[in-house]
Amino acid sequence: MGLLYRLGIYFYGWAIRIAALFNEKAKLWVSGRKTVLKDIESAGLKDCLWMHCASLGEFEQGRPVLEELRRKHPNYPIFLTFFSPSGYEIRKNYPGADLVTYLPLDTRKNVTRFLDLVSPKIAVFVKYEIWHCYFRELAKRQVPLFLISSIFRPDQIYFRSFAKWFRNTLKGINQIYTQDQESIRLLKEIDIVAALSGDTRFDRVLAIKKSGGEMPKVDAFAGNHTTIVAGSTWPADESKLIEFVKSAEDTRLIIAPHQIGEGHIKEILAKSEDIVRWSEWDGKTSAKILVIDAIGKLSTIYRYADIAYIGGGFGRGIHNTLEAAVYGIPVVFGPNYQKFKEARDLIAAGGGFTAIDESELFNILKKLNSNKEFRKNSGEQAGNYVSGNSGATAKIIKGISSYLA
C-alpha cells in the first residue's frame, strides 16, 4: 500500500505539471513551490509553531487557533503552509504568521528536507489534511502532531477492511480534535482515541461579528428594503435568484459570486438590466441587484442581510453557512448539503432551509420575504445555533499548550 501511495503522489505531481500548461490554478500550484525550500532556509525558522491548511476554508477554521497560539506563546515564530493556490494566493501576506508558503509534495525527500529546515516545535493540521510521509517523519522526530476541527464519515477509506495502512497514518497523530461525537465513535471502532472539541469556525465567525466591520455602501443599497445576500454563488444559483427578485416587491439582492473573473461578472450583468456592479455603483443609480466584483467582503456584507442564500447547493456542494447564520438571519441553500454537518444542524434547528429545485426555492424565499415573524424566529434559531457551539478554540489550545509547557 505504501508503494501505491508513493506512486500516486509522484503521478499527481507530474499530472499537475502537465495541467499547468493549460490551467492557471495548476500553474500557480507548480510555480509557487519552486522556491519554497529556499524561502524557508532564508527565513531561518527554528522551533516554530507550524499550521498546515489545504485552502482558504480550512485556514478560516484554523485561524482562531493560530491567533490564540500567537497570543499565548509569543516567543515562538508562527509558520503557515497551504496546499492549494486558492488559500495561499489570498493569505500569503497574512500578518499573523512569520512565514507563509506552499507545502512541498508529500515525498520522502521533500519531507526530510522540509522538516530539517523548519524544525517545528509542534505541527497542527486542519480538518482533512492527512499526509503519510509528513506524519510518519513527524512521529519519528517526536514532534507533537495535532489534527483539529476534523470530521470523519463511514465512507472514508480509514474505515474500510483493507485500509490498515491508512489507519496507521492516523495513529501517528498525538491528538485528534473532532467536530462531532459521531467522528469519535467511528475512530473508536478502529482503536483510535479522539477528543471532542467542536468546530473552530464558530469561534471565527463570532470574532468577525464582534469586530463590527461597517460597509456604508452596502447599507445604502439595502436601505429599508428586504435584502437577500447570496454568497459564494455559481451560475446555477444566480439565475434562480435573479428570476426571483425580478418579481419580488421591495426586495434587494446582493450577489457575491464564488468566481469574480471579469467574464463571469459580465455574464451576471447580462441577465437583467436591473443589475449594477459594486465597483461602479455610485450610490444613486437605481438597481435591485448589486454584484460584488471584489474579494474579502462577504463576511461583512452578511451583516446587512435579512435573508442569506449560500451558493453551491445546486452543484458540488454548499459553501460556508456559519458566516451568515452568526448574524441571526435564516439561511437558504440548494440540495447538495448532506456532507456539511452545520447545514444539517441548521435545518434541524429551524434556522436553515433547503430547496431541491427552483420552484421550491421560490416558495421558501417568498415565505421568508413576506412573513416577518417567521423570518425573525428562523433567524434567531440560526444565531442561537452558532453562539451555542462556540468554545472549540479554548479546548484545543489547552491541549496544545500542555505540550509547549
378 and 328 in a common domain:
yes
Q: Please report the pLDDT score of residue 295 as a whole number.
A: 81
Q: What is the CATH number of the domain that holds 132?
A: 3.40.50.11720
Q: Which domain holds residue 43?
A: 2-199+390-404
The pLDDT, as a whole number, for residue 75 is 93
Give the chain's domain count: 2
| Same domain membership, residue 376 and residue 261 | yes
Instruction: Determine the angle formed by the axes of helices 132-140 and 164-171, rounding to 10 degrees.
Output: 50
Q: Which residues pair with 52 in a beta bridge?
A: 81, 125
**In this model, does residue 160 exceed pLDDT 80?**
yes
Whether 205 is in a domain gets the answer no
Claim to verify: residue 367 and residue 395 sit in the same structural domain? no
Q: What is the CATH number of the domain that holds 250?
A: 3.40.50.2000
Which cell is 47 given? 522551533
pLDDT tier at 382, thresholds 50, 70, 90: very high
Q: What is the DSSP string of 351-398?
A: SEEE-SSHHHHHHHHHHHHH-HHHHHHHHHHHHHHHHTT--HHHHHHH
Q: 368 and 325: one domain? A: yes
Structure pTM? 0.86
288 within some domain: yes
pLDDT tens figures, 55-91: 998 999 999 999 999 999 999 999 999 999 989 999 9
What is the distance of C-alpha 93 from the center of its chain?
A: 18
| Residue 175, in any domain of the structure | yes
C-alpha cell, 33 = 513551490
Is residue 64 located within the same domain as residue 158? Answer: yes
For residues 29 and 155, membership in a common domain is answered with yes
Report whether pLDDT(285) > 80.
Answer: no
Measured between alpha carbons, how far is 99 from 103 in angstroms, rounded to an integer?
12
Model confidence band, residue 4 (pLDDT cutoffs 50, 70, 90): confident
Per-residue pLDDT at 288 exceeds 80:
yes
What's the whole-number average pLDDT of the chain? 93
Answer yes or no: is 207 within a domain: no
Q: Are residues 290 and 363 in the same domain?
A: yes
- 206 part of a folded domain: no
CA distances from 361 to 87, 223, 240, 315, 355 (A): 31, 24, 8, 15, 5
Q: Is residue 342 part of a domain?
A: yes
Structural domain includes residue 338: yes
Residues 86 and 230 in one domain: no
Quick one: 246 and 337 in the same domain?
Answer: yes
What tens digit of pLDDT does each residue of 167-178 get? 999 999 999 999
C-alpha span between 290 and 310 (Å, rounded): 16
225 and 167 fall within a common domain:
no
Are both 71 and 6 inside the same structural domain? Answer: yes
With cut-offs at 50, 70 and 90, classify the pLDDT of residue 98. very high
Domain match, 144 and 172 both: yes
**Residue 230: inside a domain, yes or no?**
yes
**101-145 pLDDT tens trace:** 999 999 999 999 999 999 999 999 999 999 999 999 999 999 999
Share of the chain above pLDDT 70, in %: 100
Residue 3's pLDDT is what? 81
